Amino acid sequence: MVLDLSFYVIIALLLIGLIGAAIKILREYERAVVFTLGRFSGVKGPGVIVILPGIQQAVRVDMRTIVLDVPSQDVISKDNVSVKVNAVLYFRVVNADKAVIQVENFMVATSQLAQTTLRSVLGKHDLDEMLSERDKLNSDIQEILDSQTDAWGIKVANVEIKHVDIDESMVRAIARQAEAERIRRAKIINAEGEQQAAEKLVEAAEIMERAPAAMQLRYLATLHDIAAEKNSTIVFPFPVDLAKSFIDMMERKGAS
C-alpha cells in the first residue's frame, strides 16, 4: 500500500513537472519562436503558451527597441584625416522568426554591420562634412543598415554619431582655417560695402549734376557741420558758381 502511494506521488510530481515545463508565460514585449522536432512551426505570444516538452523548443525574442553603442572606429576621411568616431544605434526586431532563423546572433551581427558601415560611409566624406553635416550622414548610415538588416527581421529606427575625435595637431589646423575663413568673409563684406557706397555716391553726383542748386545746398550744409565743431580756424574753398552768382547780382544792382 505504501509502495502504491509512493508510485502515485511520483507520477503526480512528474505530471506537475511536465505541466510546469509545458506552460510558458510571455510578457507583452516578448515572442516565442517555436520549433517542433527541429522545424519552425510558428511564433507564439504574448501571454500563456503551451510547449510540448521534448518535442517542441521555444526561443524567446525581445521585441522592444534596443539601444546599441557602436564602439569607437578609426576612420580616414576623404581628405586623408585620421579621426575616431563612435555612434549609437536604435533598432528593434519586427519579425521574430527571421531574427532567429536567418542569423545566428542578430545582436552581434547588427553591431558588426554597424561598425563596418560607419567606417565605409564616413570614409567617403571630408572632415568638414563629418563635423557640419551629421544629420545627412546619420540618415545615410541608417538607410544602409535598415536595407541590409531587413532580411534578419530587424528595423533600424535611428543612427546618431556621438563623437568625432580629432588629433590635437588637426584641431590647431582647423582653428587656423576657421580664422582665415573669418578674415576672408570680413574682407568680402567690407568690399561689398565700399562698392555699394561708391554706387550711391555716383547716383548722388548724377542728381547734383542735373540740379546745380542741390550742390550749393550741400556745400552750405557741410559748412554748417564744420562750424558746429567749434574749430578756431576753418579753411574752405569758395565755390566759383556761388561767387559768379553774387557778382551778377551786384552788377544788376549797379546797373539799376
Q: What is the pLDDT of residues 95-147, one digit of tens each?
A: 999 999 999 999 999 999 999 999 999 999 988 888 888 899 999 999 999 99
pLDDT band at 194 (very low <50, low <70, confident <90, very high): confident
pLDDT given at position 168: 72
Q: Which domain holds residue 42?
A: 21-62
pLDDT, mean of residues 167-189:
78
Is 15 part of any domain?
A: no
pLDDT (tens digit, 9 = 90+) per residue, 233-248?
Answer: 555 555 555 556 556 6
Residues 50 and 75 in one domain: no
Residue with more model confidence, 29 or 5: 29
pLDDT given at position 224: 62
Is 105 part of any domain?
A: yes
Asked whether 174 and 128 are in contact (CB, 8 A), the reply is no
Task: Provide the pairing of β-strand 154-166 with 82-93.
Answer: antiparallel
Pairwise CA distance, residues 218 & 224, whole Å: 10
Is 40 part of any domain?
A: yes
Weakest mean pLDDT among 51-65, 83-97, 115-129, 210-224: 210-224
Mean pLDDT, the chain, rounded, equals 83
Residues 6 or more apart whose Cβ sits within 8 Å of residue 42: 34
Residues 223 and 158 in one domain: no
Q: Distance from CA of residue 204 to its chain's centroid?
A: 49
Asked whether 149 and 156 are in contact (CB, 8 A), the reply is yes
Is 78 part of any domain?
A: yes
pLDDT band at 220 (very low <50, low <70, confident <90, very high): low
> How many CB atoms are located within 10 Å of the residue 241 CB?
12
Asked whether 138 and 159 are in contact (CB, 8 A), the reply is yes
The alpha carbon dihedral of 63, 103, 158, 81 has a sign of positive
Is 75 part of any domain?
A: yes
Pairwise CA distance, residues 155 & 78, whole Å: 29
Is 212 part of any domain?
A: yes
pLDDT greater than 80 at residue 205: no
The residue from 32, 62, 92 where one domain ends is: 62
Pairwise CA distance, residues 94 & 64, whole Å: 9
pLDDT, mean of residues 163-190:
79
pLDDT given at position 21: 77
Main-chain phi, psi angles of 92, to 5 degrees: -150, 160
The residue from 123, 138, 166 where one domain ends is: 166
The alpha carbon dihedral of 89, 93, 95, 98 has a sign of positive
Pairwise CA distance, residues 132 & 137, whole Å: 10
Highest mean pLDDT (candidates 187-196, 199-208, 221-230) = 187-196
The alpha carbon dihedral of 216, 220, 223, 229 has a sign of negative
Pairwise CA distance, residues 148 & 146, whole Å: 6
Residues 39 and 85 in one domain: no
Is 9 part of any domain?
A: no
Number of domains in the chain: 3
pLDDT, mean of residues 33-40:
94
Give the H/E segment covering residue 85: strand 82-93
Give the H/E segment covering residue 3: helix 2-22
Give the H/E segment covering residue 203: helix 168-210
98: domain CATH number is 3.30.479.30
pLDDT greater than 60 at residue 31: yes
Asked whether 128 and 101 are in contact (CB, 8 A), the reply is no
Residues 28 and 106 in one domain: no
Q: Distance from CA of residue 28 to its chain's centroid?
A: 34
pLDDT given at position 101: 95
pLDDT band at 163 (very low <50, low <70, confident <90, very high): confident
pLDDT greater than 80 at residue 172: no
Pairwise CA distance, residues 62 & 30, whole Å: 5
Residues 100 and 119 in one domain: yes
pLDDT given at position 254: 61
Residues 29 and 53 in one domain: yes
Read off the amino acid at residue 166: I
Which three three-digit cell numbers place residue 206? 548724377
pLDDT given at position 227: 64
